[in-house]
Structure 1
């Protein structure tokens, strides 16, 4: 069974180290709201120190669970354990390029050495999420009995529908599929707008992945945007307009207001929702325009 690591007056909380995902699940059911899963713990520690959350009495460490570690890749997909650190994602050649770009824009190197991809996802506002939405990544969960797989978009939709509901399941893996482009081109983009040059919460983060043929017709496209003040989302209205069309400046002009209308960037003390909507539309339009410009050189 799981092993209790600490219990003394100097550290009044108990840290458990389960050896299997079943043990981890059983501990969470036993202690319920008095316990949290933890791996890198960078975001949780920040929330505890700031007073945004009260530290729980029990920490369930995920460090010893093999299912949550490692990166595997084949011709169809890449599987990344939820406890893989952001720094490990950056170092590994198997990490998809769009996700690697996202990891590079998350926090400082010292935080990336500890923070995990799963932790960034579970925050629901992590900068990895637009990249995962743009690549149609799937999340693998354990609910105590079965493994459940759903797209990142489906999960975020569920969280938005019940914003106060905490995720009861344990995130095991992230699966990023590959586009099998037999002809044409597969391209992607990712950009983060922060309040300062680096290592800061996102004002707006955008990502996209598109498959075009040799005539610059869009075979498929996924666009996503998010911010530190709102959960990331797929921009399906803009996708529907673009798919099947030849990428052009006029088409991008029609797309801009759709992005601004659909995206909800949230608001905080640093930026309004209107500003975030405008910024997301501008950034995606510029990214699409650059694809036209580069092909005409």
Structure 2
């Protein structure tokens, strides 16, 4: 299939983008890498009046990796960050990036596009939630505002972004400990049937900063808060891990679909969490 007709604009400044979004609103869509939007347009699942291409705005393609984390402009290419020599300064970032689709797709996909698209089975939204990340939104009317990842994702491909706002940058803070990103897929490169992002640090022999996020199991990435609280201050041993795993089993209420049943997702999520906790110990 081919997309319905639409107007196309490729502004060269951020102000031009924001002006178009303010004037056109809900009838405009922003294209970054196009790896999600183009198939949606071809299937006619979206019928925008205007497609705004942001690839000509250099300030949106800048990024910085440091021991504090990753600050990425919306147009930052996934593969470029994956291959950066300092990518491991942000625990879990390389593991998440290299599991996104295939290298050819990652060479076009963008950090901002993946986050804005908010697919509940995608790796980057889950990592952003797990790391307590944030998103910077910009508009002509409200200027700049920062939204936490937990507040940004509201449902399947739904976010807190208003129709006149642009995702301008995304911040992934570095976790103080190691982070594991594990997932189950039907074929290499597919979206995750089930996935988890798990991290913790060790301080004075006890677990600190525990973080457990499941993805591919609901409408958005889900933090397993009861399991996190059980791990906080506990000894990194099999008994503590097993308690957390059982809490995950009880806390999660996965969706069922054509790919997997709810019970399958529940059990696999728990198994992946256990595997990650042990691997990080």
TM-score of the pair, normalised by structure 1: 0.83
**1:32 counterpart SS class:** helix
Q: CA deviation at 1:223?
A: 1.1
Which residue of 2 is the match for residue 221 of structure 1? Answer: 210
Which residue does the alignment assign to 1:3?
none
Q: 2:137 corresponds to which residue? A: 141
DSSP-derived class of the 2:259 partner: coil
Q: Secondary structure at the match of 2:36?
A: helix
- Deviation for aligned residue 1:24: 0.8
In structure 2, distance between residues paired with 1:107 and 1:162:
18
Contiguous gaps of at least 5 residues in structure 2: none
Distance 1:245 1:209 in 2: 14
What residue is the counterpart of 2:35 in the other structure?
Answer: 42
TM-score with structure 2 setting the length: 0.88
Verify the 8 A CA contact 1:204 1:265 in the aligned structure 2: no
| Separation of aligned partners in 2, 1:162 and 1:43 | 11
Who is 2:278 aligned against? 289
Displacement of 1:55: 3.6
CA drift of 1:105 comes to 0.7
User: What residue is the counterpart of 2:110 in the other structure?
Assistant: 116
8 Å contact kept, 1:210–1:218: yes
> Using the alignment, how far apart are the partners of 2:36 and 2:56 within structure 1?
20
Q: Secondary structure of the residue that 1:105 maps to in structure 2? A: coil
1:93 shift after superposition:
2.5
Distance 2:207 2:60 in 1: 36
CA distance in structure 2 between the aligned counterparts of 1:162 and 1:69, rounded to whole angstroms: 23
Asked if the contact 1:140–1:149 (Cα under 8 Å) also holds between the matched residues in 2, the reply is yes
Q: How many angstroms does 1:242 deviate by?
A: 0.5
Q: Taking CA–CA contacts closer than 8 Å with sequence separation of 6 or more, which of the two structures ends up with the larger relative contact order?
A: 2
Native 8 Å contact 2:156 2:219 kept in 1: no
Q: Aligned residue for 1:30?
A: 23
CA distance in 2 between partners of 1:229 and 1:48 (Å): 24
Q: Give the C-alpha shift of residue 42 in structure 1.
A: 0.9
Structure 1 residues 187 and 69, CA, compared in 2 at 3 Å: closer, same or farther?
A: same
In the alignment, what sits opposite 2:181?
A: 190
Aligned to 1:7: none
User: Secondary structure at the residue paired with 1:230?
Assistant: coil
Equivalent position of 1:173 in the other structure: 169
Pair 1:94–1:174, CA change in 2 (3 A): farther
Counterpart secondary structure, 1:28: helix
Distance 2:160 2:208 in 1: 37
Deviation at 1:102, TM superposition (A): 0.9
Gaps of 5+ in 1: 1-10, 293-297
Contact 2:212 / 2:228 at 8 angstroms: preserved in 1? yes
Change (3 A) 1:162 1:18: closer
**Partners of 2:10 and 2:53 within 8 A in 1:** yes
Judged with a 3 Å threshold, the aligned counterparts in structure 2 of structure 1 residues 268 and 134 are, in CA distance, closer, same or farther, namely same
Closer/same/farther in 2, CA of residues 226 and 220 from structure 1, 3 Å limit? same
Structure 1 segments of 4 or more deviating over 4 A? 161-167
| CA distance in 2: counterparts of 1:120 and 1:74, whole angstroms | 21
47, 63, 85: which one aligns with 1:93: 85
Q: For residue 80 of structure 1, what is the aligned residue in structure 2?
A: 72
8 Å CA contact 1:72–1:94 kept in 2: the answer is no
What is the number of residues matched between the two proteins?
Answer: 273
SS at match of 1:202: coil
Rg larger in structure: 1
Q: Are the counterparts in 1 of residues 8 and 53 from structure 2 also a CA contact under 8 Å?
A: yes
